[in-house]
Chain A
């Protein structure tokens, strides 16, 4: 996307002192421009949150209907019953985010500094998989990680599976239907969301800074630690957020690649809402997830000092 927007950008110009967003004429114009979109967001994004909050403190049954009874106990019941799924969500999403950073950083670095004329091609290859439905691609992991397949065979003969099953990540000589498969799928699915922001912030770094650091007696590793990585922090922050948030609410990977022992909170919300039809419990779980995410995101953004993500 950054290549698209830069293609026809106007020539760099000196700041114009008079180019303020303020305009005398048309005081109502901004509100007219904002109104349709904002009304949409208020009605179909904000209001549903209120309805959900209200549903979470209702009691009743499908047949007789629900009424608000301020039955806060639903929250306690939901938490005490489903805390393993909550923990698993945080654990899996956190691990996947970490792996995404670990895997994505070299690729983003490669595209930004080392790819030369291959840069656009590699960028296309990073984005192109998006055009195949992610469900189809996730199903492909069933083939890749199939029992007795080449991947599992190789891991087995290298005794990697012994280690992972000792760690509780896999079971026996299977990878499918284990936590490892779910984390692998999550990492795969959200990797581009890590790579693209990382690339954007790395690409902005002036290559001469590396030379300057080298000139000032920094080894390549020190240059990376003291110059490149700190300057790429905005990308790291938005990349981890863009990975962790959707991963923590995901239930597709856990459903397709996992088993009943790898269920995440998304699976619970989904089944409560769509199969069991216990709306108050589902709403409460969803509300807890939302609150947890919001708190984590706020703390994270505050601590990393990048508040202007929009």
Chain B
């Protein structure tokens, strides 16, 4: 009976942790299998422990090339989407203009559209224009679908910003440019950074839209997709694990730094 009561009180916690396990299980598998030494071409069954892949991450043809291409694409797409999206967010929050509803829909729709539809329609555009599929078409596509997410992230931040802060700056002898650079931009920065981070992650990990518009160019997700047909090298798991660890490391480091700063000041 005591156990039943305990179970009843902690049911939510247990269910939540089970879901968390479900979310993390594949990452555990990816990490474990990055130390595997598979017998065949596919890395789906455990054979024996090996660090071979970790010592030679670029040992598979094209893997590191596709990885570097994806990183470049993500960097440029982040830059483009962040600049364009931030401008839109500021216009939406700070100004009144005609056709606000239409503008809002145009920004909302790309987020409410299955990727395959955007991918297919963009391909028809490129085919009709006779564009050469490759780096530039991928970049165009990535900026397009990252844009809306940046707008949402930046808009939230700018909206929560006290308009009196900018008035205070103007009152304290800062002209429009100074006000923007010294007050508006620094305060909006966390929102812009969040938008940029999201854009980078979306672009780096995108497969469906890229797959349609890449031509013969191979990004990292496309390399993984191809390897699922041809054979999965262990190095894929190494890259996946490394990315996971680097991201967690960055986040934890950031948290430690802010915590320490808080403690010092308090």
CB pair B127 A279 closer than 8 Å: yes
What is the 8 Å Cβ interface bit string for chain B, positions 7-29, against chain A (1 contact, 0 not)?
00000110111111011111101
Q: Which of B19, B198, B248 contacts A107 (CB 8 A)?
A: B19
Most chain-B Cβ atoms within 10 A of its Cβ — which of A16, A132, A134, A269? A132
Q: A103 near B: Cβ within 8 Å? A: yes
Question: Once A and B bind, how many residue pairs between them come within 8 Å at the CB atom?
Answer: 292
B-contacting residues, A1-57, CB 8 Å: 1, 4-5, 7-10, 13, 16, 19-23, 29-31, 33-34, 36-38, 40-42, 44-49, 51-52, 55
Residue in A closest to B30 when the chains form the complex, CB atoms = A140
- Distance in angstroms from B32 CB to nearest chain A CB is 9
Query: Judging by beta carbons under 8 Å apart, are B243 and A274 in contact?
Result: no
B76 to chain A, nearest CB (A): 14
Q: How many residues of B contact A (CB 8 A)?
A: 104
Does residue B185 face the partner (Cβ distance < 8 Å to A)?
Answer: no
Binding site for A on B (CB under 8 A): 12-13, 15-20, 22-27, 29-30, 33, 44-45, 83-85, 87-88, 90-91, 93-97, 103-104, 106-110, 112-118, 120-125, 127-128, 140-141, 143-144, 147-148, 151-153, 155-157, 160-165, 187, 190-191, 193-194, 198, 201, 204-205, 207-208, 211-212, 220-221, 224-225, 228, 232, 236-237, 239-241, 243-244, 246-248, 251-252, 255, 258
Q: Which of A214-261 contact B (CB under 8 A)?
A: 241, 245-246, 248-252, 256
Q: Which residue on chain A has the smallest CB distance to residue B164?
A: A16
Q: Once the chains bind, are A290 and B114 in contact (CB under 8 Å)? A: yes
Closest 6 CB pairs of A and B: A249-B114, A110-B16, A30-B95, A106-B15, A131-B247, A48-B121
Q: Do B96 and A21 have beta carbons less than 8 Å apart?
A: yes
A171 within 8 A of B: no
Which residues of A, 134-171, contact B by the 8 Å Cβ criterion? 134-144, 146
Chain A residues within an 8 Å CB radius of B221: 133-135
Candidates B113, B128, B205; contact of A51 at CB < 8 Å: B128
Asked whether, in the complex, the Cβ of B16 is within 8 Å of the Cβ of A107, the reply is yes
| Residue contact A36 to B125, C-beta cutoff 8 Å | no
Chain B residues near A98: list those with CB within 8 A. Answer: none
A126 near B: Cβ within 8 Å? yes
Q: Which of A7, A30, A270 has the most CB of B within 10 A?
A: A30
A141 touches B26 (CB 8 A): yes
Residues of A within 8 A of B84 (CB): 36-37, 40
**A34-B88, A132-B27 provided; 13 other pairs, C-beta below 8 A?**
A8-B190, A10-B161, A10-B165, A21-B95, A22-B95, A29-B91, A31-B97, A36-B87, A41-B107, A44-B144, A106-B15, A124-B252, A256-B228
